[in-house]
A and B are shown apart, each in its own frame.
Chain A
Amino acid sequence: MSVEAHSPETAASRWLLEALAVFAKDWRAELRSRHALHTLLLFAVTTLITVSVALGPLGVSSSERLAVLPALLWVILLFAAAAGLPRAFVHEEETHTATALRLAATPSALFAGKVVYSASLLLAVELLLVPLYVAVMQLPIVSTADLLLALLAGGLGLAISSTLLAAIAAQAQGRAALFPILAFPVLLPLLLLAIELTRAAVGGTAGEGVLVNLVLYDATMAVAGLMLFPLVWNP
């Protein structure tokens, strides 16, 4: 960066502008094709219907509701994320746009832009899916704040980890198929914590530490991603 100080802007604001440019570019391309949004949403709704039909018209008995329903919600979100989020990098490699991006973008800014894009995509899906899930499954919400926190922190963590692992999977053979294999062991602690917090939101008990650990996971993966992504991205 030292060599190409074109403008009087500071390095930090240039970094932010780059991340913002990536975010805006991805959304602009997405809104033209709607491919990722449709994939994620249809995947989530299809899984929701499958789960709902499989459980039958009576749903889950009230005694088991706390144990089963939060877990199922996050399994649906995980599947939707695995179907849609790897595209962030797989598409760049498949269509050979990654080369131009490699030669122009600051890697950490690119990573940040992709994370924010993936997170916004996932939160948009959550926004549509979760009310539907709550209604169909007759899930009693005890603490809306806990639910929102779980969805926000869990969705952000999913986006961060998925973006980093998608960048790895995108450079291997069988890109999209490899992603879930790489991602699930890394995402498991996040999912367990998010399920635990969601349980608290629907009347279960969860320790204070669950939210702290969830936020800690997000922060750890964000720092690890910013440090490791340049090594993944550049030879």
Chain B
Amino acid sequence: MSQDSPSAHGRAGAPPAPGGAGGWGDRGEIKPRGGGWAAGGSGLGPRGWAWRWALWLWIALAILGAFFYAPLAQDFIGQSSRILFFHVPMAWTSLVAFVAAGAWSVLYLWKRRPDDDRAAAAAVELGLVLALLATTTGAMWAKVMWHAWWNWDPRQTSIVIALVFYGAYLVLRGGIEDPEARARLCAVYAVIGLVVAPYLYFVMPWMAKFTLHPKPVVNPAGKVEMNARMLQVLLMSSLGFTVFFFWVHGLRRRLLRLADRRAVTAAGSAAS
């Protein structure tokens, strides 16, 4: 709550001015062109066409590399190892998205800027899509290698809990109407996610050693590092996915901002 000096104040009874500054429907936030993440104009800027084409080229090269440059991993059935060049980057990027959502949530609770809340929400949405894709590709690979779509490998467990948690985050978002309360409560929930994450990522895989069911197959992550060309493609793909995420995230964030502004403008014109 901002406190400032009583330097300029009027007596009571000033007529309310429609469309006050700041807040959830701030009309001054949107910059259609120019610098910054949300701009769309000149060629070499951070949002320019050159940069976008470079990303497409990079991803195309990663796809080609995955199928024609990288060798097949040993002890893998058929061509199944190639899915790792997409599966691992997607899982990695979903992790980046969820951590970023947590960071933006902390930032929101600190600064209370509506834009940080939108950024967190956009990151969770994209992270969920990526985690779903990673889960699906993982299950496809598991069907080939382990002859079962699903077998509660610790990593599968972790990603399913992440899906449930961030799904709950979106349900919570839908359940609160007041933007201020929604942003605040969702931000706290995302921070709780950060607090619990170490238990999901470290403690539960560690606990799997103690379960009565032995793990049927060793974790595939260890095998990826064996070949230099495979590693090159994997890193290339991971970087491509990460940059791709931040690009789409910027678009999504702008869209949410525009939707908020349009809703406020509509309500304002209905009022007058």
Contact = CB atoms under 8 A, between A and B. Distances in A.
A67 interface: yes
B195 A196 contact: no
B176 A173 contact: yes
Given A172-B176, A178-B171, A182-B168, A213 B188 contact: no
Contact of B165 (A66, A186, A213): A186
A185 interface: yes
A188 B161 CA distance: 8
A235 interface: yes
A172 B207 contact: no
* Size category, A interface: 35 or more
B203 A184 contact: no
Given A173-B176, A185-B164, A185-B165, A232 B210 contact: no
A171 B185 contact: yes
Interface in B132-186: 161, 164-165, 168, 171-172, 175-177, 180-181, 184-185
A122 to B, nearest CB: 20
A235 B189 CA distance: 15
Interface residues of B, number: 30
With a 10 A CB-CB cut-off, give which of B203, B204, B206 has the most chain A CB atoms: B203
Given A189-B196, A228-B188, A173 B177 contact: yes
B192 interface: yes
B109 interface: yes
Given A178-B175, A181-B171, A172 B210 contact: no
Contacts of A178: 171-172, 175
B164 A168 contact: no
A156 to B, nearest CB: 16
Given A188-B161, A231-B184, A171 B195 contact: no
A18 to B, nearest CB: 22
Interface string A161-179: 0001100100111100010
A17 B8 CA distance: 42
A196 B196 contact: no
A193 interface: yes
B24 interface: no
B161 to A, nearest CB: 5
A181 B168 contact: yes
Interface string B206-233: 1101101000000000000000000000
A171 B203 contact: no
Contacts of A193: 203, 207
Given A178-B172, A186-B165, A210-B207, A232 B184 contact: yes
26 contacts: A67-B212, A164-B192, A168-B185, A168-B188, A171-B185, A172-B172, A172-B185, A173-B176, A181-B171, A182-B168, A182-B189, A185-B164, A185-B168, A186-B165, A186-B196, A189-B200, A193-B207, A196-B207, A217-B199, A221-B195, A224-B191, A224-B192, A231-B109, A231-B187, A232-B184, A232-B185
Interface in A190-210: 192-193, 196, 204-207, 209-210
B210 A205 contact: yes
A207 to B, nearest CB: 6
A138 interface: no
B21 to A, nearest CB: 20
Nearest to A213: B203
A205 B200 CA distance: 21
Tell which of B175, B184, B200 has the most Cβ of chain A within 10 Å.
Answer: B175
A220 interface: yes
